[in-house]
Structure 1
């Protein structure tokens, strides 16, 4: 009776679970995935901070533009830089004033950067020369 059917599970001793090697491979894959998620989370936090600084730099640039626009005395032609404190932070405002093709108008380019940080904003306005 060589063709007799064997009962289920007979001859497969020790094949019911995972081996230690299979468990180590699975844990290493899960660990790599978890580390990737942690790095992604840190990147998202850093990007949010940069976006916050860029937004605030834009507000500082707009404030400076309003000051320049409403000042009855036109700004001096050429490059200059100013320090400002806004939103509890220190900012560096680089200003470039140039003539335009119309003698009655000036072009003012502003670049605002935090004294310490990575965000920045640029803004250009046209204002009367007189």
Structure 2
């Protein structure tokens, strides 16, 4: 019986085939991870754009008009199209503000819904004897700051 030292050519070829399959699987996994990270970033930025548009409508001095408004905004190095719909919320004290953000391919990537009063808030009345002064600072009791 001959003494065998080392591997046969067939054994080396099978080992290389198994190794190459494992490397291909790792390369595909890396590609999927990179695509997933890009999608997460895109969704996050689109959500921020939706929130910014909704907050503009929420914090404006005048309430937004009812109906559909569209626009575009640049954020995160990309251009985004947004749609804002203001509609009754079922309670006459509030309106519903729905914002959807689409990428340039038209796919919705982020959305947000907020509510706000349909009319501007009334100014708070001044206490009796108080005179309104712009940029006034108040002194706490005891006269110290």
Q: Normalised by the size of structure 1, how large is the TM-score? A: 0.81
What is the alpha-carbon distance in structure 2 between the residues aligned to residue 38 and residue 95 of structure 1? Answer: 41
CA shift, 1:114, in A, is 2.4
**What value does the CA root-mean-square deviation take over the aligned residues?**
2.0
Shift in CA distance, 44/119, structure 1 to aligned 2, threshold 3 Å: farther
CA shift, 1:23, in A, is 1.1
Partner of 1:45: 34
- Structure 1 unaligned segments of length 5 or more: list them: 1-10
Partner of 1:34: 23
- SS of the residue corresponding to residue 120 of structure 1 reads strand
CA shift, 1:117, in A, is 8.8
CA shift, 1:103, in A, is 1.2
What is the alpha-carbon distance in structure 2 between the residues aligned to residue 62 and residue 28 of structure 1? Answer: 51
Do structure 1's residue 63 and structure 2's residue 52 form an aligned pair? yes
CA shift, 1:31, in A, is 0.4
The number of aligned residues is 119
**8 Å contact from structure 2 (residues 81, 102) kept in 1:** yes
Higher relative contact order (CA 8 A, sep 6+): 1
| Higher mean displacement: 91-100 or 110-119 | 110-119
Q: Normalised by the size of structure 2, how large is the TM-score? A: 0.73
Deviations 1:8-32 (Å, cap 9, x if unpaired)? xxx1x15332211111111011001
Query: Which segments of structure 1 move beyond 6 Å, counting only runs of 4 or more?
Result: none
Partner of 1:111: 100
Deviations 1:45-89 (Å, cap 9, x if unpaired)? 111111111111121112112210122232232333211112321
What is the alpha-carbon distance in structure 2 between the residues aligned to residue 119 and residue 46 of structure 1? Answer: 17
**8 Å contact from structure 1 (residues 50, 118) kept in 2:** no
